[in-house]
Structure 1
């Protein structure tokens, strides 16, 4: 029997699994490739996200920032705008229902469930909007609660539907609603989870759980749209899961297949939570760092699976994995950064003081500092943010350090990562691969931990640089079905 078969047929003690939004929009794949694969649907918990695109309608578009119901309500102007958006949302959710349910009675109940939630939400927001017209009430004081209320609708909708649909397949599925919709008391997250699962027999019942959990900690205030991963992570920890699994619509691969080609990108078989953190720093989360921290501390392995390729063992992420053979596992990066260079002759021997003041300014302006470097009289920040925010921060830095020369430039970063990159000559190979493509290196970093190498080049060279590094550092090794198969 192959290693792959072993990993799929090993006995499942208790697996806590999260299903992403794009996967949730493909019900048959979730049913056949997750729930009914490879055999029994039990001894697992499924934590689900909203259907693809629904949270964009509820809050705001994740990439473009176009306001959804929340964004329009938060403006506090014309109430017709957010109400129209809410009705657009209602129509979209009912449309999803009509495509999923062929049984008329089930469709009727599913529509009634989500209709009631949207109608109740509308009434609450109308009352709040009216109250905040009076001077004693500030709308901004309630916006976090509004955001939470709206976010919960998406997960409640998808979890309810999945639980009902699976009953048609003979699965004893149960809808576990952690959104706190009708609860009068707010519990700490751990207690909320303990209460919800207290009477569940996992050997005969498949819980379908909302990715949003209403609790004292208010997950959305800390994790914003990463809340479902925190819910998933904490459930795994509290239930002492044998394994945590995230089902996505793609493999965690050696590079973006769109850049290096489907035929050249290789799935990652094993890696570490350390590498997962490095990916998150680049905005390419395998899992939210806060959620990963809980799993890592509890020594729970995390597996990333491709929903549409269930026979592949996926990526196993553990706390202590380190490749026996030094190698590069992933080429990733950020295609648009702004480098802010602060040069000041008075900085000599004062770098720590300068850095502390500089970071206060970037934090205040919500500029994500991806990386930084410094020498005797210069600190350079590599920032992932809008030009407008960077300009505000730069103006404040000029006021703070009147003797400094501050310049900005557009760059991108390509990064080579691996759980063990102590490869002799690696730096030389990387530099040569870019030089062969006529790419000039503006800056680069590699620290003693030897898990990541960052190279900064002109922003127009991103795709070419990723392909060059992937060809030179990964493709030449012909890894096969996965890097570190298991």
Structure 2
């Protein structure tokens, strides 16, 4: 029987009843319920409360603990987290005996964390101990709370519905052993018979190097992919609240987008570069190297096979699969009339960008100009610019804010596609600042003004996807997991 490792994201897992009916049970009975492992994220918004809001930057428990203001403000934030967790318990179990069990689990974890952080504050009041040296560990501990809560609740809910489920805690809670992630997985899953038991695994897994420190907020997908590789799964599945589509349906219209169906990890990498992650790039690398295909399914459309991403997929007919893009990009242009024929310019720029943790989205160059399209804060960009000007005193360095729109596909080697893209942008009255296309034929990038972003996406999608009659390949061709 096919063995799958499946990940449920925060938005999906928060919609408890839908996930129960469409994913966790989904009409299955008996043996069909098993030979699956689920990795769950924290409920939507919980990690924001524990760390800081991902978009607005509003401080959570960690930010308040690490900040220089009221040193006890974090305790109120932690109490607010406990209230939110218990409110979720009440929503799920509505006063039934399971609610008391779930509440006791939350209180125990929250109190342990509270006592730990108080002790750390007390210890760091001595001059020999520094708080900043322990903050990365504090962030790891706080992050683990959200996934531990959702995994425990999900297993409890399944047990209530007669499923032999078990919460599998990879957070190393009260575990003094120094194990690698794979050793921890082996230890946690060692006594489980997958043919008759359903593991619900925390999306946070303790590791020696720190999961959040290495992978940021994408750590649940890294846990998911490493677990899939560890158990040698036949397929990895991510359940999202939407289909992987040819564009953002909220932008171009739900009735105009197409589900992708089949594609490869090369496309997934291009999507990640544009900030539209089908899967975290590190997770994609793990699955690709392990030879495990990834299926992206819509939680709210369980009968649809979704989109399968594999290492070896190549389309029968070249086509544009997705039109997407990225706002908030800076163009960092370095011009020097004496650059031609000289070495070292590019390495100097790269050193400065690396030093200030600035991500490169794309780049282009000619005889005397190198332009990097980058993501980063204005402060970091200003510092990097100053470094470049110091190291290259003869160069003129300028920055401007732009956007990038990208046409992506496993094979977009369609005759005239670049001319068609340019025509679509011209007819939509979108001026082009730059155009990039590599020989691999997986994407075309156009640099434009930010104000033209929405218009450009819609124009390119209409011209290269909606007006093209190539049939969308069906993921059902690679049979959906049972």
TM, length-normalised to structure 1: 0.95
2:300 is the counterpart of 1:308: yes
From 285, 290, 303, the counterpart of 1:293: 285
- Equivalent-residue separation in structure 2 for 1:364 and 1:277 (angstroms): 24
- Equivalent-residue separation in structure 2 for 1:95 and 1:479 (angstroms): 49
Checking the alignment, whether the CA contact within 8 Å between 1:338 and 1:410 is kept in structure 2 is yes
Aligned to 1:33: 22
From 173, 177, 180, the counterpart of 1:181: 173
From 413, 435, 444, the counterpart of 1:444: 435
- Equivalent pairs counted in the alignment come to 474
From 111, 116, 119, the counterpart of 1:124: 116
Secondary structure class of the residue paired with 1:107: helix
Aligned to 2:376: 385
Checking the alignment, whether the CA contact within 8 Å between 1:329 and 1:474 is kept in structure 2 is yes
- Equivalent-residue separation in structure 2 for 1:53 and 1:66 (angstroms): 12
Aligned to 1:338: 330
Aligned to 1:409: 400
Checking the alignment, whether the CA contact within 8 Å between 1:302 and 1:317 is kept in structure 2 is yes
Secondary structure class of the residue paired with 2:445: strand
From 19, 22, 36, the counterpart of 2:11: 22
Secondary structure class of the residue paired with 1:212: coil
Aligned to 1:278: 270
2:463 is the counterpart of 1:472: yes
- Equivalent-residue separation in structure 2 for 1:218 and 1:138 (angstroms): 19
- Equivalent-residue separation in structure 2 for 1:257 and 1:296 (angstroms): 28
Aligned to 1:90: 82
Aligned to 2:48: 56
Deviations 1:300-338 (A, max 9, x none): 000001101111110100001111101000001102211
Aligned to 2:426: 435
Checking the alignment, whether the CA contact within 8 Å between 1:266 and 1:483 is kept in structure 2 is no
* Alpha-carbon distance change, 432 to 50 in structure 1, aligned in 2, over 3 angstroms: same
Checking the alignment, whether the CA contact within 8 Å between 2:306 and 2:475 is kept in structure 1 is no
From 181, 188, 191, the counterpart of 1:196: 188
- Equivalent-residue separation in structure 1 for 2:158 and 2:367 (angstroms): 64
Secondary structure class of the residue paired with 2:411: coil
Deviations 1:142-171 (A, max 9, x none): 111100000000000000000001112111
- Please report how far the alpha carbon of residue 380 of structure 1 lies from its aligned counterpart in structure 2 after TM superposition: 0.5
Checking the alignment, whether the CA contact within 8 Å between 2:308 and 2:475 is kept in structure 1 is no
- Please report how far the alpha carbon of residue 408 of structure 1 lies from its aligned counterpart in structure 2 after TM superposition: 1.4
- Please report how far the alpha carbon of residue 77 of structure 1 lies from its aligned counterpart in structure 2 after TM superposition: 3.8
Checking the alignment, whether the CA contact within 8 Å between 2:305 and 2:475 is kept in structure 1 is no
- Please report how far the alpha carbon of residue 136 of structure 1 lies from its aligned counterpart in structure 2 after TM superposition: 1.0
Checking the alignment, whether the CA contact within 8 Å between 1:186 and 1:214 is kept in structure 2 is no
In structure 1, runs of 5+ residues without a counterpart are 1-11
Checking the alignment, whether the CA contact within 8 Å between 1:414 and 1:456 is kept in structure 2 is yes
From 213, 220, 244, the counterpart of 1:228: 220
Which stretch shifts more, 226-235 or 395-404?
395-404
Secondary structure class of the residue paired with 2:467: helix
- Please report how far the alpha carbon of residue 91 of structure 1 lies from its aligned counterpart in structure 2 after TM superposition: 0.9
TM, length-normalised to structure 2: 0.96
Secondary structure class of the residue paired with 1:477: coil
Aligned to 2:480: none
Secondary structure class of the residue paired with 1:413: strand
Aligned to 1:6: none
- Equivalent-residue separation in structure 1 for 2:109 and 2:68 (angstroms): 22
Secondary structure class of the residue paired with 2:134: helix
